[in-house]
Structure 1
Amino acid sequence: MTLKFGVPNKGRLNERAVELLTKAGLDLGEDFGRKLYIKARNQDVEVLFLRAQDIPEFIAAGAIDMGITGQDQVAEAGSDLVNRLELKFGYCHMAVAVPEASGITDASQIEDGARIATSYPNITKRYFDSIGKHVNVIVVTGAAEVMPYLGIADYIVDLVSTGSTLKMNRMVEAGNIIESQACVFTSEAALAKYGNEIDEIAESIASVITAESKKYLMANVPRDKIEDAERIIPGLEGPTILEIAGNPGYAAIHAVIDTKDAFHTISELKRIGAKGILTTGIERLVN
């Protein structure tokens, strides 16, 4: 049986999701961007390009076995899914936003009967119910920020990343409903059927994400400075120390370091007399 993997077909999650899958080892070929579904060349996995908002319901219904989508979409669908892996992209939060001129600073100040425009009616209703407010939810498919200006709604509930769109439309946040990022989701039923395969894919993707924040460092260090080098670059479980043919005064040290530490690490190694310092990217890192 072929495992079915849903991926957003467009929008803010599509490009990065495809990048992670291909780096993790799923060969989607050269023309995947023009197909709605494609069989991975090297695994018994079929990748389907779907609307991000449909992926939670398709997983819950058993139409697909796993998929990448935002936590906001799963919350809106109300599906009981398993969050197998957080992907560390697509960060945003869902907020209640009001016109600057309203003077409202907190969602609790919103009056009963207010009109709320949103693409997330289920989350919106649950939120206002939870704070004891009875509002009229107006479902829109996009550009919620313009609805108060058009007189269609009084306030909105929408995803916010940088806040620049709200600012452009003279709106401010009055409440944070949920935080969201892209994740790999599956179901208990799919795990019972494809547990090993799902784990393998999730762990492969995780190894790509881990590797992206690391560098592989190599340097030739004077032998009498090896202890200093070990302090500077402890590595994952200590650096690897190798002999250098024909150069007994130096040893080669290899280690994995955090990318954010690369500048300082290289400077410290130069200070103790290291030569031939090289850093390179890592494609995958499995701990």
Structure 2
Amino acid sequence: MIEIKKKLKRAVIKEEYVKLTGSTEEAIILNQFIYWSERTKDVSKYLLEEKTRLENGSKEGDVSLKYGWIYKKAEELKEEVMLSVSVNTVRKHINQLVKKGYLNKRSNPIYRWDKTFQYRVNLVKVTSDLKKIGYRFEDENLLTGSADFDARETNTEQLNNYNEFSKRTGITAIPEITTDTNTNNLSEISSSLSIDDDMKSNDSKQFNKICELYLKLSGKSKISSNDYKAILEVVKEQWNTNLVLKWIEDCFRQFKPQHKNDQIRSFRYVTNYIFDQAHKNYFFQEVVNNEQNTGDYVEDEYFERYG
């Protein structure tokens, strides 16, 4: 019998964060946010931004904080760090960290319909306040030294196919961070994504329109992480927006529920339909071009495969 090894969770309590926050729970949560912040795809820009703020003595409100923004639901965070408290209590601890200035908090600045809050660790304040109480931020060399940010970012980019695409297209929505535990094995992280401000206008507009239409047709209130990734796969192809929207409508119109509660629950289903339609269109155009060159009759081969 094959033994399946279960991936064990890890929660780290650091003395310096307990002293800093005055709370074991807040210390665990802060450490977990720092863990994720150092593994976002824009980590080099984020650390450089914090290093610049530290050197210039920047205060909150002096600069626009562009990088290092992530989001994770309180429900997931509770499961990750294994706190024996309610989800509402986890939210209260997060809000306390915001109130103390160790986390920045905002709504999605691009997609107003996204109601999930985004967070950013204020490493400048964490480092400064730790010094005041006689402690040192463990990774302070990343802010004060000449650390090689690019090497860390390169390793992080290999974690997710989204990273390569997002750099090319500038898609700025933040997919939900997949549940994971505090581990040093970067290859186990399935997703830890952040905002890239270098957005291409056309890609962003298509992404927005797809999201809005999907939410309307599906009756869902928000886009999930899997939906984000599936939509990005479509945007990546740079197909005509009106054609893509038509395929989405066709997908919902042609969907035949097997029972009263059956419905399209994920954009992945729609993505598969869109790629199928795009392939058919591409093949049809290919054989049309072939007919013009060879005189072969188009419908014979097309309907043999798709009729």
Shorter-normalised TM range: under 0.3
| Structure with a larger share of its residues in strand | 1
Q: Give the structure with higher Rg (CA).
A: 1
| Structure with a larger share of its residues in helix | 2
- TM-score normalized with structure 1 length: 0.25
- TM-score normalized with structure 2 length: 0.24
Larger RCO: Structure 1 or Structure 2 (Cα < 8 Å, ≥ 6 residues apart)? 1
